[in-house]
Amino acid sequence: MRDKSWPRNDCGGGAEALAFRVKACLEALRPINSAMLGFAVIVGAAIAAGGPPPLSASLYAFATGFFVGASAMVLNDIVDVDVDKINAPGRPIPSGRLSLKAAWACFVALTLAGLASAAATGRYTLAIALAAWGVASLYDVWGKRSGLPGNVMVAFNVAVPLIYGEALVGRFSPAVTVFWAMVFLTALAREVAKGIADVEGDRLAGVRTVAVSRGTRAAAMLAALLYAAAVALSPVPLLRGWVDPMAYGVPVAVVDALLALAAARLLASPVKLVALWHKRLVLLAMLLGLIGFYLGVTV
């Protein structure tokens, strides 16, 4: 039962009600995940340029990644409200803290903000931002129920900020391609493993994740293989001389260890509680990896 002390999501107005809806919208856009996407754009620009991008470019880069990513997070919750009533009933929409009308308003505002910041830096960055937004929207309305193809769509959008950063500075770098592959493989593995945590609701909703169609152990095995592929790529920037050995090597070595731990735990026990723990651990590993990428080319 909803706490009666909460302002109703359909209340007529007032500062308290507005603040409550804004807070619920902020939760729906997953600020940590969205901020990571913004930071990833800056990292991509730094890798391509061989150093930190100018402050103005960094601000536009962060804003684009953050707002476009956040719009996808909100749309995902709008589309998945029925599934989330089973898998994640505490989220803003299924819990009743954010109405669908307010959620749609958040989605539109975030989309416009993201595309406007992309347009401010040129037509190529706008084209990439539009493509990423389109893929994210297609995933939300169709791709998620497709299983593995949907996981690939998410992984693409997690990694595409690095390509966006490359376009932002107008310089192609083979280092970006390797870093993109590492992020893509890690994100794909995380998405496959997330299906283990959501298998009950996904099965009822007809979502054909690997965990639903092949079983949780098969999902754990595929995720572990993808993590192994990402870890195998991590020495390449060192061997090619693209990064500072210490600034890159230390954090990325920790990332490799965390991914190995996550894979081992999943293989040993492919159940919901472990998958939820794994999801948070790998998100931390990905943030640490981005920091390592950035430091490796800027120190």
Q: For residue 248, give the CATH number of its domain.
A: 1.20.120.1780
Same domain, yes or no: 253 and 287: yes
**Which tens digit of pLDDT belongs to each residue from 92-148?**
888 888 888 888 999 999 999 999 999 999 999 999 999 999 999 999 888 888 889
**Which residues span the domain enclosing 149?**
13-171
SS3 100: helix
List the one residue out of 194, 191, 4, 209 whose CA is nearest residue 88: 194
Same domain, yes or no: 187 and 63: no
- Ranges of the chain with pLDDT below 70: 1-14
Same domain, yes or no: 60 and 199: no
List the one residue out of 296, 56, 34 whose CA is nearest residue 157: 34
Q: Which of 171, 200, 234 is the last residue of a domain?
A: 171
Same domain, yes or no: 64 and 178: no
- The amino acid occupying position 286 is M
Same domain, yes or no: 29 and 160: yes
Residues in the chain: 299
**What span, in angstroms and rounded, lies between the C-alpha atoms of 128 and 79?**
24
Q: Position of tokens 């819990």?
A: 95
Q: Which residues contact 130 (CB under 8 A, 6 or more apart)?
A: 115, 118
**What span, in angstroms and rounded, lies between the C-alpha atoms of 115 and 104?**
17
- Domains identified in the chain, total number: 2
**Which tens digit of pLDDT belongs to each residue from 8-18?**
444 445 677 77
